[in-house]
Chains A and B, each alone.
Chain A
Amino acid sequence: ETGVTQSPTHLIKTRGQQVTLRCSSQSGHNTVSWYQQALGQGPQFIFQYYREEENGRGNFPPRFSGLQFPNYSSELNVNALELDDSALYLCASTPPRGNTEAFFGQGTRLTVV
């Protein structure tokens, strides 16, 4: 196991609702990244947090937002859910050295109906 845990594992929401996904990073890892993986696609980078600050963002609209807490755990919030937001959401933590292995959580499978 990677030591990265995500909750919940599965979630069903209605279009227009808001959702919060959570991630606990591996001990000692101060960088957390979030990815969206649609069916049949590779993971797409949403954003990254380093020491509680957003440290880069992919091509996702502002209704995707996040937080990182002092213990380096993180949340991904999505407002005004759309059907196309249905995907596997992956959290990955990396150690302070950078450019090394990313450790992924098991993901949260979100279905928007």
Chain B
Amino acid sequence: RKEVEQDPGPFNVPEGATVAFNCTYSNSASQSFFWYRQDCRKEPKLLMSVYSSGNEDGRFTAQLNRASQYISLLIRDSKLSDSATYLCVVPSNQAGTALIFGKGTTLSVSS
């Protein structure tokens, strides 16, 4: 299993839709997880951190299932501005605070 694997995408949804992204990770010892958002040709920016079973911030909900080594990101009431690539991220167990990124899932929200 790859260290971090994500849904391939792309996801094309209308405004107002609910969309969910899935991610699996291989290191069962991981204690923290992140979702980053990356706009086209820009740097990644932290969207959410997940340290226990889940986290919620407005329209965004991240859930963690440690037994299945699975993380999800749910976006409710999608906006045009949510169009971006969403990266699932797990800390490296080999180097300090280095991060292991998934390939990313592209979301396109249309009107």
**A56 touching B101, Cβ below 8 Å:** no
Decide if B103 is an interface residue (CB 8 Å cutoff). Answer: yes
Let me know if B96 and A101 touch, CB within 8 A. no
B44 to A: closest C-beta gap in Å = 6
The total of interchain contacts (Cβ-Cβ below 8 angstroms) comes to 72
Set of chain B residues within 8 Å of A99, measured between Cβ atoms = 31-32, 91, 97
Interface of B is mostly: loop
Which bracket fits the contact residues of B?
Answer: 20 to 34
The reply to whether B95 and A57 contact each other, CB–CB distance below 8 Å, is: yes
In this assembly, does B20 line the interface, its C-beta being within 8 Å of a C-beta of chain A?
Answer: no
**Binary A-proximity of B75-111 (CB < 8 A = 1, otherwise 0):** 0000000000001000110111111111110000000
Q: Does A70 reach chain B (CB closer than 8 Å)?
A: no
> Are A56 and B98 in touch, CB under 8 angstroms?
yes
CB of A42 within 8 A of CB of B87, answer yes
Q: Mark B51-69, 1 if CB is under 8 A from A, else 0.
A: 0000000000000000000
* A contacts with B: majority SS: strand
B97 contacts A98, C-beta separation under 8 Å: yes
Whether a CB of chain A sits under 8 angstroms from the CB of B22 is: no
Cα A40 to Cα B45 in complex, Å, equals: 17
* Number of A residues, CB within 8 Å of B: 31
A44 at the interface (CB under 8 A from B): yes
Q: Which A residues are closer than 8 A to B by beta carbons?
A: 2, 31, 33, 35, 40-45, 47-48, 50, 55-58, 88, 90, 92, 94, 98-102, 104-107, 109
Please provide the 8 A-B residue pairs with the shortest distance between their CB atoms, ordered closest to farther.
A56-B95, A42-B101, A104-B43, A94-B97, A55-B96, A45-B98, A42-B103, A43-B101
List 17 A-B residue pairs with CB atoms under 8 Å apart, sorted by A's residue number. Answer: A2-B43, A2-B45, A31-B97, A33-B99, A35-B101, A42-B102, A43-B99, A44-B101, A48-B98, A55-B96, A57-B95, A58-B95, A58-B98, A92-B99, A98-B97, A99-B97, A102-B99
Please give 10 more A-B residue pairs, beta carbons under 8 A apart, in addition to A42-B101, A45-B95: A33-B96, A33-B97, A35-B99, A43-B99, A55-B95, A55-B96, A56-B96, A57-B95, A104-B43, A106-B43
